[in-house]
Chains A and B, each alone.
Chain A
Amino acid sequence: MFLFLFVVLLCGPLSLAIQEADVGVIDWHTRLVGKPLAPPVFHHVGSESVIVVPTASNVLAALNTSDGSIVWRYVFDQADGLVNVRVDSDFVAALSGVGGSTLRIFETSTGAITREQRLKTPEGSPTGIDVAQNKFVLNSRSITRVGEGEWIWDAPENQGPYSKLVHTDASLFAVGHNTDTFGLHLASIDPQTGSTIQTAFKHLAPRISSFIVVADLAVWIEPVVQSLEFLQLIPSLQSSIRVEKELKWMAVVDVDLQKQGLFVGVLANGDAKVLKVKEGGVIEAVHTFPANDGPQSIFSGGLDNQGNAFIARLWTTIDSRTRVEIYSPAQNLVQSTFLVNPHRQGTVTHLGIDRTRLAITTSTGSIQLWDNEQLLWTREEGLASIDVAALVELPLPERIAHVAANESFISRLLRQISDTKDFPAYAAAFAQRFVGGVEDAVATTVDAPLIRDSYGFRQVLVVATAYGSAFGIDTANGAIIWTRVFGLGWAGADVGGSVQPLKIFVLSGEGEKKDAVIVALRKADNGLVDTVVFRIDPLTGQSITPVEKDTEQLLQGEDLIRGPLVAAFPLPSSDVILLIDEYFQVNPYPATEASDKLVAKVASKMFLPFLQSFQDGPRVVGHGLKLDEKLSDKYLAYRTWGLNLPRGEIVTRLIRPQVGPVVSYGKVLGNRTTLYKYLNPRMFVVLTQSTDTAPEPGCGLYVVDGVKGSVLYSVALPANGEAVCDVQATFTENWLVYHYYDGEGMGTGQTKTWKIVTVELYEGGLDEKTRSSDMSAFSEDLLQVEPLEQSYIYPHQVTAMTTTSTKFGITTKNVIVATQNNKVHEIPRRMLNPRRPKDRKPTAEEQQEEHLLPYELLMPDDPRRTISHQYEVARVRNIITAPALLESTSLVFSYGLDLFFTRVAPSSTFDVLSKSFNKAQLVLTVFGLGLGIAITRPMVRRKRLRESLTTHA
């Protein structure tokens, strides 16, 4: 008993927070920026250089060219969408928001914001946005000068809109092409005063679709006669359009070398000419890239740190290699060929150049830096857009997994003798674990083959992204194990399309192995939609069905449904998934006879609630299963109930409960009475919001029984004037936690704040039980629910929420939340106990039995409970938890923009000694006690002898 207390005393304080030494050992964090939207721009800061990229994840970032790390990034809010980015000298100007209403200017080297300003925006959507010199901002028909000498210029009536802003030594020009009036609108403005110098309109041929501006020329192609036309911009706007029609021109490409007067003209025969604007508005061809053997080329231009211009042409050859030619007026042509594997990274989408260094971005979101033919670094930015993710346990080591059940004595003896060769390694690992602790033991397995560690901390994360790629990630260190790109099946050859992952399941595979099953929607460019299933080996990314031998090809799936997927459910206690198609037919996966039999067996007991689209929005509808051979040879889901919501309220989200083993069926209170948990396994949470047709705006939360559609708990929440309700919730066993903003607290004694509410559902009052977990789904007693709830002020907005999960469910469940200030935080269950007494102290019995704390309105923001500690985990969209082999520990993975993985022990690591367990103290104490015994033993013996002698004497 004393020894136990001693051990507890040694372990106790360690469970509160993590130590600095554990950073990067028990967790990892991957900072991401998202898939680039535009060509990366090199910028030199002294001897260093950065690559500036705006991304589809609404992020503006600068990457270090030496190692690809993020020098700085600015994460724009979702509502503040990035519209235009211009890198100019040492600053980056970014326009964002509705109509490009907000201008921010960043220092390129540090990312510090030097200006943030709201600009005048036109009514309606903007037709053209541009920034020049970090101080002139064009938005359709108005130009704003920001900073010193501010002015606003508005286009005269019937002029504009404009889309390009050009600042030359002579004047400031606005140029716009109007497809309605078939003309070029021009305006020259005094940059100092903002007064109009001249406005003009030049009539163009009707089929001209776009133009570029280089130096002081506006250049475009006349597609009918395939001529190159250009107009010099002079303050008086009196110049006339000049035409070059000796060659047949197809297109002009802006390579971002406007000041240098360089651009590219593509000819009808496939040649591409580098053109330079000379004095007096004359265009001269300075170089010709000969026609290439692949599809359309990508052109890019850039300056090196000495100001020399470079222009590159990139194309993919017939043998799928990437070929690049670099031209510089000052140097000879450089050619390089390298392989950007289209089966791993997709196709090249953008190109940036700095001398011989090339930054390329791909369709799956990969950013790569190449120098000549050498790959310097790669960033997989597709991971910033993960759609589905699952943690998969690693298999046992082969020698353990392959022990036959009926092994003979001889073979067992031989096996054990052969296993002794591993003894030295085992002894060394044991010694290391004894000295170093758990973390070191796991860390040593990082370089080892992918096999299960003693504690199950090391698993494989299988994720699928919105850009049609899948990754396997090692949870030990966050390294990417494999990358695959989804194939398009029949649409791949000529049609084209995209793959959108919808669900991921982990099913038992061959032997002890687990398979990852990704259910995805394939949207072909011709409008056809199919549901495809990719069944892959999580360790290698290799396709299992269909069997794949060569992983160097695209990952092909199994076309399961001709049409979209409506819902997917795993069949409990089996490895079968039910996929519901648009005709409500049940398609079991894998499509085997055994699956069909299983479905037939359980169909009468299956009730599937899922979202169904109606004219007025999505609704939750409950379904039963039946087989009607007149209609279909498959089971059909038929409607049994619909959730009746108030008028104008629509469903936004359906939250399924976190499923895990239930250990305790009741809560024993301090006075030895019991509250029995309402454990209806068919419950789920529905989040709703009101539409314009609702009598008053608001949000709703309902806990619904999946069999009958009866509402077990509901609450109306304020909408706070927002178009989209921001309610987060998580549900497990009988415990619901939700978070919302209460912005209507202007009454006396009220306030506006974020609130977190904890609700526990019980079968009734004290000692009342109905055996809800064993009850028939149609029993009337199932409607007897007694909610206990309490609300707390929470200091932060929450973007995602879940509960921890452990192997046997014995460990306390804590809530994990991702907050707006880029943290992942753990809230202990004790703090969210709805029985925390108000206006009194908990009794000694309550403290002892229930660990009750007195109620406090404000939930403390304890930084030691921030499991992401110093990491800035940006824009978390979802958190998943999975059990480790240790009952005390739960694995936590959050994704959104950044990835973050850690493990938590809600009830402390009671089943394993922590790394910081004071082993030296234990050893010294045992040694001290041994020494004491060694000293006192002869003394005691002597004393006894003396006493016996005295007695006998």
Chain B
Amino acid sequence: MAVAVEQREVVTKKPRVDKVLHGVVTSGALASLVILGSIAGFLLYRGFEIFSDMGFGFITGSTWEGAGAEGEVTKYGIAPMLVGSLVLSLIAVAVALPLSVGTALFVEFYAPPGLRRVLVSVLDLAAAIPSVIYGLWGLFVLRPLAIGWAKSLNEYLGWFPLFRVDATFFDGSPFIGGLVLAVMISPIITSVSREVFSQTPPELVDGARALGGERWSAIRHIVLPFGRSGVIGGAMLGLGRALGETVAIYLVVSIVFKINLQMLFTGSGNIASMIALKFGEASPYEVKALLASGFVLFIVTLIVNLIATAIVNGSVRKASK
């Protein structure tokens, strides 16, 4: 006997409070989008005059001359600072990456659990030390030491192209700036790497040990391949932070407006430190040039960070599978 089942349509009407809630929360969440968009928009808008006046020369030019006397040429090109940003950050990542990965492995696989908890907090705190303190420490403590190291490197390994200099001036070099940046970004790289390493499935590590593998064999063949993309992503995040660092570079590096690829030789700088240096006594037109430089810096760090985020997320997703 068939009973005609009346299909009752279930309708949930959203109460008005929920509509309000959705509206408020959505607009609050999208405020970040508006902020990010207006950062790009306003910097581009204020600096647009420079981009249209200098054209591509703003990126490739290597002079920064404001109009002094009447009729003097005004030229703004950020190539030396763009190159300097890259050189400083690459030195920083090259130094910080192996040390950070080692430290992350130590914290995760070698340190006893009590020490591990302490070290994780130490890492969080180290990441929050203000850059002005890193800068002062770099200037007063690290710089004198690093000048000595640079001298020895040049003296004993000067035949190696990386350590060659034209003249023996070692103060305020990209090397010293890169070392300070390395100290600054290593907590980030270490934290991210440790996080990814800690997600290695323990049964894989235990399995490797059960097959008679030593601790290093398990790390080398399981933990490192598993965490590789996370480590790369962490390094990219560190690179992003290093690219945008202002005060520490301002304090430690002699900011010289010339492309310097000899890492032990005096003089370098990055876009952010140049902005801080020139900002105080800039003419209105020069301020526009500084805002345009800020736009370039924003775009560069945005790209680096998006790549980093994509890599880290990829590895975390792989881990949670």
Say if A and B assemble together.
no
Chain A positions near chain B (C-beta within 8 angstroms): none
